[in-house]
Structure 1
Amino acid sequence: MYKLLHGLRIIEAASFIAAPSCALHFQQFGADVIRCDPIGGGPDFRRWPRAANGHSFYWEGLNKGKKSVAINLTTPAGKALLQRLVTAPGPDAGLFVTNFPAEGFLSHDRLIQHRADLITARVMGWASGATALDYTVNSAVGIPQMTGPASLGDEPVNHVLPAWDIAAGLYAAFALLAADRARRQTGQGTEIRLPLGDVAMAFMGHLGQIGEVSETGKDRPRYGNDLFGSFGRDFRTRDGRRIIVIALTGHQWKDLVDTLSLNEAVAAIETELCVDLSSDEGLRFCHRDRLNPIVADAIGRISLDELKVRFEGTKVCWGPYNTLSEAVGDPDLISERNPLFSAVDHLTDTRYLTPGAAASLGGFERGTPGRAPVLGEHTEEVLADVLGMASCEIAALHDAGTVAGPAGSKAL
């Protein structure tokens, strides 16, 4: 955890990936992030993958280092308490991250009645307010019809990476910091509404795919494992290992041809087709049916270890296909040698390598990531520090069932 945002306070009332990851980015740069959880946990508290003790690896991964206040959000008193926490005073406070509906007790219009300069970052499904998940947004913009082998026809291919959730979490963090900077200059707060659907559609435009289909009037077909617009796909080595090889740039292509001793074969294809394959990656894509077999044949004659030696020091972009279990423990990937990771004891009764902030900032110490909180672990601390409540007031909230502490939960 870096300390660049030390003193900044984020209140989070959210579940699933996008909004909690937004707040996690703040925490990993030093902000004090306070989760306001329903008593017993929200809809993602027990989400798979789960450990033998019932705790969620998923939940603890997205909420490590945060504080937790457990509130009964089904009661007027609980809702009012959360509103007080969100709008509590302070120049480094009044920052709220949520995926609750835009209307209701956490609507921005209601909250600014208590703090006019509040900044709300609200992750949504669609801009209309309709519900969506990463997977339904992905299906709406056509990605599953571009993924997989051509033999599938029009059968969709879903994927396991929630790309739009991840992008939305990152974008929400950026937008919230930008809004905070503007507030420091103008004193004005705002509500940021960030629909997953808008993130997806924006990036489809940024990547040129809206322009492509607008001009051609056609959808991009499936190309299997071939990289669209360039040279790249999977190949099998002599000892049966699958690797991926990509040649986006001329230097990458030249070094690939040189190290595999393909100069004569490639020159013959260039002469036959009257093209210079080193000058345009698109040409390497167009003529992939001629290039793939000769690259596959060359790689198929070499073991993985021999390829490592040949490619060492070159600009060839390549790598083996690993399973995650193979990546965990690889000294160059997920290992204690990698400063991104630290071994941490978690609520799942498991000690495993845990990532801190992904960026490496020169001159700043990254620090060690913390574990996720026990539900309600910080209830009394936060109510006392943020709202200035006396112990008797907090006790009364406990007695009324408005809040809960970590009683009955295992604290590490």
Structure 2
Amino acid sequence: MYDLLSGLTLVEVSSFVASPTVGLYCGQFGANVIRVDHVAGGLDYDRYMLTREGRSLSWENLNRTKKSLALDLRSGEGRELAVALAAEAGQMVTNLPVNSFMSHEAVAAKRPDLVSVRIMGWHDGRQAMDFTVHAASGYPLMTGPAEWDAESAPPVNQLLPAWDFITGAYCAFTLLAGLRHRDRSGEGSELRVPLGDVAMGTVANSGAMAEMLYRGADRERLGNAIWGAFGKDFRSRDGKRFMVAALTPKQWGGLIEAFGVSEGIAALETTLGVRFDNDHDRFVHRESLFALFQKAADAFDYETLATRLAKAGATFERYRTMHEAANDPVLVADNPLFGPSPANPSGFHYPVARSFANIPDREAGDPLPAPYLGEHSEQVLAENLGLSSGEIARLIDCGIVRTSDKDNR
């Protein structure tokens, strides 16, 4: 954890993935992030997978570094406290509806220079989630084996909620842009980011939308081949699957050297009347090249071939199950990205990711735990809203405020 955002308090009223990601990333850079939940927990508090003790591992990892304030958000007094907290902080992120009690207007009435970031579904107000947005993007119908029939083949969904995480990262950037504008002008900003626009905008920014309109049709399925370049999965003699990619002359030359196929490449160039010194010809004639490289891979065990690939400067990686990846020392145990397990609410100890960005010559610090629901309720109400101990006790007694659920989960 770094201190680049120290002094910044961010109020988060959110659930699921995209919105909590904003607070997580800001918290990893030193922001004081206060997550406000209903007293029974947000909609994501019990999100699968749960430990035997009933703790969500998803919630635990998306809410590290944060403080937790639990309020009865169905009551008027609980909602007033949430609005007052966001106004006191001056910046908030939420995925509640535009016209909810946490509307920009409601909070800005108390804090005119408020910077709010609101994650929406679609731009026209329709609901959306990562998996429904992905269905609309077109990618699931371009994913799958090349031999699948275009008319009858099923869509293939992405397991990772990538649009959610991209949206969360974009919203962290959006928040900082709003804060930068306020620093220069004194003006607040209401910043709305529809999940669907992140998906469709990314399709456009990648050039894929222009491609579809230019060609007047959909792109064919390619299996694990890389679109527009040379890359595919291969199998070694001992049955290990691995992926290679060649987007530069150096990468292409490294593959040729490691696989020992220079003579085969030359013969294929003569037969086809092409030169494989460019992405276009390598992609167009990919099936012939794939067959040549697979025949070469059949002669090597993976460890031997991996040594040759590394020595030649090729770009490659072996396929792993996620369980294998989690136990891989190079990827996790020996990777400075991961720090020691803090005292997680789940009681389960495992490596925890630090900030993805690192600052050379500056200590990142160990990862912080997620809070228990309501763990910081009293602290936040006293320090941020200036409530007296007597007033806080009244709120707890009447069920408006909940304290830590550490011992009563």
- Flag whether TM exceeds 0.5 (same fold): yes
Question: Given residue 294 of structure 1, which amino acid in structure 2 is its aligned partner?
Answer: L
What is the TM-score when the length of structure 1 is the normalising length? 0.96
Quote the residue 1:300 is aligned against.
298
Kindly indicate whether residue 129 of structure 2 is the aligned counterpart of residue 133 of structure 1.
Answer: yes
Aligned-partner Cα distance in 2 for 1:98–1:13: 5
- 1:335-350 to 2 correspondences below 5 Å: 335=333, 337-344=334-341, 345-350=343-348
SS at 2:329 equivalent: coil
Aligned-partner Cα distance in 2 for 1:31–1:5: 5
Quote the residue 1:2 is aligned against.
2
The two structures, once aligned, show a CA RMSD in angstroms of 1.3
Kindly indicate whether residue 101 of structure 2 is the aligned counterpart of residue 118 of structure 1.
Answer: no
SS at 1:87 equivalent: helix
CA contact (8 A) 2:91 2:115 kept: yes
Q: Provide, for residues 108-163 of structure 1, a one-character-per-residue CA deviation record: whole Å limited to 9, x for no partner.
A: 11211110000111111111121100110010111110011131534111121111
Between Structure 1 and Structure 2, how many residues are aligned? Answer: 405
Aligned-partner Cα distance in 1 for 2:6–2:357: 17
Q: Provide, for residues 343-377 of structure 1, a one-character-per-residue CA deviation record: whole Å limited to 9, x for no partner.
A: 21311120000101011112322111111101100
Moved more, 362-371 or 117-126: 362-371
Q: Provide, for residues 74-110 of structure 1, a one-character-per-residue CA deviation record: whole Å limited to 9, x for no partner.
A: 111111110000001xxxx311010000112111112
Quote the residue 1:237 is aligned against.
236
- 1:272-291 to 2 correspondences below 5 Å: 272-278=271-277, 280-291=278-289
Aligned-partner Cα distance in 2 for 1:234–1:348: 38
Identity of aligned residues (%): 42
Aligned-partner Cα distance in 2 for 1:309–1:72: 59
Note the C-alpha offset of 1:408: 5.7
CA contact (8 A) 1:250 1:281 kept: no
Aligned-partner Cα distance in 1 for 2:321–2:293: 24
Note the C-alpha offset of 1:389: 0.8
SS at 1:333 equivalent: helix
Quote the residue 1:398 is aligned against.
396
Q: Provide, for residues 15-71 of structure 1, a one-character-per-residue CA deviation record: whole Å limited to 9, x for no partner.
A: 011010011000000000000011111111011111111100000010011100000
Aligned-partner Cα distance in 1 for 2:25–2:376: 20
Quote the residue 1:367 is aligned against.
365
- Residues 218, 70 of structure 1: alpha-carbon distance in 2 compared, 3 angstrom cutoff: same
- Unaligned stretches of 5+ residues in structure 2: none
Aligned-partner Cα distance in 2 for 1:314–1:176: 44
Question: Given residue 137 of structure 1, which amino acid in structure 2 is its aligned partner?
Answer: V
Q: Quick one: which of 345, 349, 352 aligns to 1:351?
A: 349
Quote the residue 1:79 is aligned against.
79
- Residues 407, 217 of structure 1: alpha-carbon distance in 2 compared, 3 angstrom cutoff: closer
Aligned-partner Cα distance in 2 for 1:248–1:194: 33
Quote the residue 1:46 is aligned against.
46
Kindly indicate whether residue 224 of structure 2 is the aligned counterpart of residue 225 of structure 1.
Answer: yes
CA contact (8 A) 1:374 1:410 kept: no
CA contact (8 A) 1:96 1:119 kept: yes
- Residues 170, 311 of structure 1: alpha-carbon distance in 2 compared, 3 angstrom cutoff: same
Aligned-partner Cα distance in 2 for 1:342–1:141: 36
Quote the residue 1:32 is aligned against.
32
Aligned-partner Cα distance in 1 for 2:100–2:178: 23
Q: Quick one: which of 92, 96, 112 aligns to 1:96?
A: 92
Aligned-partner Cα distance in 2 for 1:313–1:385: 58
Moved more, 290-299 or 360-369: 360-369
Aligned-partner Cα distance in 2 for 1:322–1:307: 17
Hey, which bits of structure 1, 4+ residues long, moved more than 4 A? none
Quote the residue 2:158 is aligned against.
159
Aligned-partner Cα distance in 2 for 1:168–1:80: 28
Kindly indicate whether residue 320 of structure 2 is the aligned counterpart of residue 322 of structure 1.
Answer: yes
Aligned-partner Cα distance in 2 for 1:102–1:297: 58
SS at 1:120 equivalent: strand
- Unaligned stretches of 5+ residues in structure 1: none
Quote the residue 2:264 is aligned against.
265
Question: Given residue 382 of structure 2, which amino acid in structure 1 is its aligned partner?
Answer: A
Quote the residue 1:60 is aligned against.
60
Aligned-partner Cα distance in 2 for 1:367–1:97: 26
Kindly indicate whether residue 187 of structure 2 is the aligned counterpart of residue 191 of structure 1.
Answer: no
Aligned-partner Cα distance in 2 for 1:405–1:111: 25
Aligned-partner Cα distance in 1 for 2:122–2:72: 28
What is the TM-score when the length of structure 2 is the normalising length? 0.97
Aligned-partner Cα distance in 2 for 1:243–1:407: 46
Kindly indicate whether residue 386 of structure 2 is the aligned counterpart of residue 376 of structure 1.
Answer: no
Q: Provide, for residues 147-181 of structure 1, a one-character-per-residue CA deviation record: whole Å limited to 9, x for no partner.
A: 11131534111121111111100000011011101
- Residues 408, 355 of structure 1: alpha-carbon distance in 2 compared, 3 angstrom cutoff: closer
Quote the residue 1:19 is aligned against.
19
SS at 1:366 equivalent: coil
SS at 2:11 equivalent: strand
